[in-house]
Structure 1
Amino acid sequence: MKRISNNCKLNINKRIFEDAEKSYSISIRAEIKEFLENNSGGYPVKDVIVSDGEEYEVRVFMSLDASDDNYYIQKPMDYFLKKTKGKIVPIGIDSGDNYYCVNNETGKVYYWSAGEDSYYCIAESIAEFVTLFE
C-alpha cells in the first residue's frame, strides 16, 4: 500500500493489534494494519481531501509508536472498539478532534464527527481513501 504521509514514526508497536484482537475477540483487517504501519503518526501529503463534493481536513494519521504522546492509537482505538463492539478502528484525526475510521467488517472509511457523534462514509475502501490524497 502506498504511503500518503510524511514524517512517519519508525518505532512501530504491532502488538497493539494483537492486544485489541484478543480483548475484543476480533481480527483486524490486514489493510487497516498495513495502512497504519505505512503511515504511522505521519502528516498527510495533502491535508484537505474531497469526497462527494465535501472537503475534509486531515491533520495526522494515528501512530503505532507508544512513545507518541499525542497520536498513539491505543486510547482512541479502545474507545471506538468498545463503543462499536469491535467494528470501528480509527486511522486518522482532523484539527477538531474528529476521526477518520475504518469499519472492520466492511472495510469502508468513515469520517466521525465528535460533536454530532455521527459517521459519514467517505470511501468504499482504504484503497479508495488513499486515492483521495493524489
Structure 2
Amino acid sequence: MEISKRNKNVSYEEIIEFEIKNNFSFDSDFREFLLECNGGIPTENQFDIVQTNNSAGITYFFSLTEIEDKYKSKRLLSLYIAIAEATGDNYICISKQSGNVFFWDHEFDHKGEDAFFLLAKNFNAFLDCLRNFDSKYIHLDPKQIKEVWIDPE
C-alpha cells in the first residue's frame, strides 16, 4: 500500500517514550508503520463496517505527535488510541487492551463502548482489509440528496 504526504520521521525512542508515558505498547507492526511513514494518506482507504452494513474511508493516518494530541484530548474512552481520521470526523482506533482495530463513530459517542465497531484483530489485518474507493458501490436515492459538495483536490 502506498502512503503519500508522510510526516516527519519519528524515532524508535520517541515511540517507546510515548508507550511508557501512556502505559501502553503498540504491536510491532504498527511501530514499523510509524517508523516507516509516521502517518500519511493511504492510496487504499476504504473499509467495511460489518456491524452497520456500511463502509467508510480513511482520510489520513495520524503522526505520533497527532496520536498523542488526540489521546490527551480525552475525546475517546481511555481504553482506545486514535490512529487515523475516518470520513465524517470519526476515528480508527487501537484497543489498549487487545490491540484490535476499531471504527469509532462520533454520532454514537454518548453510547460509550457501543460507539466502537470492530474492524480487525490487529493493525496488519486492518491494512489487509483496505481497498481502493470505487464509486460504483454508491447507491443514492435522488430524493434524499439535499446538497452536494465536491472536493476541488
TM-score tier after normalising by the smaller chain length:
0.7 to 0.9
| 1:36 CA drift (Å) | 2.9
Alignment CA distance shift 1:51-1:97 (3 Å): closer
Match of 1:133 among 130, 133, 152: 130
Residue 76 (1) aligns with residue 108 (2): no
Provide Cα deviations, 1:31-53, integer angstroms capped at 9, x if missing partner. Answer: 33223333423111123222435
Alignment CA distance shift 1:14-1:89 (3 Å): farther
Match of 2:9 among 8, 11, 27: 11
Aligned CA-pair RMSD? 2.6
Match of 2:19 among 18, 21, 25: 21
Task: Show structure 2 runs of 5+ residues with no match.
Answer: 110-114, 132-153
TM-score (norm 2): 0.65
Equivalences for 1:35-46 in 2 at 5 Å? Answer: 35-46=33-44
TM-score (norm 1): 0.73
More helix by share: 2
Match of 1:112 among 104, 114, 118: 104
Aligned residue pairs: how many?
124
| 1:82 CA drift (Å) | 8.0
Alignment CA distance shift 1:46-1:27 (3 Å): closer
| 1:76 CA drift (Å) | 0.7
Alignment CA distance shift 1:78-1:28 (3 Å): farther
Larger radius of gyration: 2
Asked whether the equivalents of residues 112 and 119 of structure 1 are also in contact (C-alpha less than 8 Å), the reply is: yes
What secondary structure does 1:26 align onto?
Answer: coil
Q: Distance between the aligned counterparts of 2:95 and 2:2, measured in 1?
A: 20
Letter in 2 for 1:113: D
In the other structure, the counterpart of 1:55 is: 55
